[in-house]
Structure 1
Amino acid sequence: MDTISRENNSFLPLAGVIAGALALLLAIVALFKLSAAGKEITSLKEDINSRIMSMESQVSSAASTAESVRGSVTRLSSDTQTAFQSVANELGSVRAEITKLQESLTKPKAAAAGPGGAAKAPAVAGPGEYIVKSGDIPSKIAKANGVTSADLISVNPGVNWKSLKVGQKLKLPQK
C-alpha cells in the first residue's frame, strides 16, 4: 500500500470535501445573484420598452402635427399668392383707368355729335374773361355766362378744376 493510504492523520481528503462544499455554496450564491440580476434586467427591459412605446407615440403625434402645419402653410401660401394676384390685377385696372382719365384731361375733346348726328365744332376761346370768385365751380361759371361746362373746360386746358383759386382768370368760350 502506498504511504497516503496508511496514514490516517492526513487532512487532505477533508480539505477536498471542504473545498467542494465551499464551491457548491459559492455556486448557489452566484445562482441567486444571477436570478436577481435576470429579474432586474427583465424589469429594466420592460421599462425601456414602455419608454420606447411612449416615444413612438410622441413621434407619431409630432409627425401628424407637422403634416397638419405643412398643409396649413401650403394653404396660406396659396391664399396669399391668390390675394396678391388679385390685388395686382386690381391695381392694373386702376392704373388703366387713371391713364384713361389723364389722357382724356390732356387731349382735346373730340367733336361731340349734335342733335342731328352732325359733329359740333370744338369750342373756341372768345374775347371775354372770367375772374373766379369764392364758391365757384365749372357748372356755376358756365351757367352764369351762358355756355356749357364742357366748352368752358375745353378752352382752359391747363386749369385744375378741383382747386380753383379766388382771383384766377379763366377764358370764356365764344357763344
Structure 2
Amino acid sequence: MAAKSGALRRTALRAAVGVVAIGTVAGLTGSAMGEAGRTRSPVGTWAVVITFEGSDKVERALFALERDGSFELADGKRTGLGTWQPTATGFRYAFRHYDVDDQGVFDWELRGVQDGALTSADTFTSNGTGTSVDADGTVQGVFHTRVEAKRYSIQSP
C-alpha cells in the first residue's frame, strides 16, 4: 500500500510540474508578443489634428490620456486638463482650457467633450463639441469638431 501511495504522489508531482512548465512557456509566449499582444487602449501620447464642421479652420495639439483617467492637452498657446473613461464603443474625454487676452486677463474658456474610438493600435478618431464660454459665463458658441490622432512615443517619434 505504501508503494502504491508513493507512486500516486510521484504521478501527481509529475503532472503538477508539467502544468507549471506549460504555464511558464505560455507566459513566455505571451511576453514575446509584446505590443501586438496588448489590449488596445487610448492611454498614451497623441499628436492630433482638429477640424471644425463647416469651416476650413484646422488646429494641431498634443494630447495625453493617462492610466488614472486624467487628460492633458497643449496646443502651443494653451494647456487644458480633463478626464477620460472607457465606453462600450471606445472612450469619452472631456476637458477645459482657458484663454487670456493680450494683457493676460482671463477672457474665455473652452469646454470640450468628445467620443472616440481607436482605429488601430496607434490611431484614433473622435467627434464632439467645444463650447466657448466668456468670462461672464455666457455661451459664445458651440462648435462641432473632429479629432484625428496619431500615437507617438520614444519608440515611434
TM-score range, shorter chain: 0.3 to 0.5
Structure with bigger helix share is 1
| Structure exhibiting the larger radius of gyration computed from Cα positions | 1
Q: TM-score, normalised by structure 1?
A: 0.31
Q: TM-score, normalised by structure 2?
A: 0.34
Structure with bigger strand share is 2
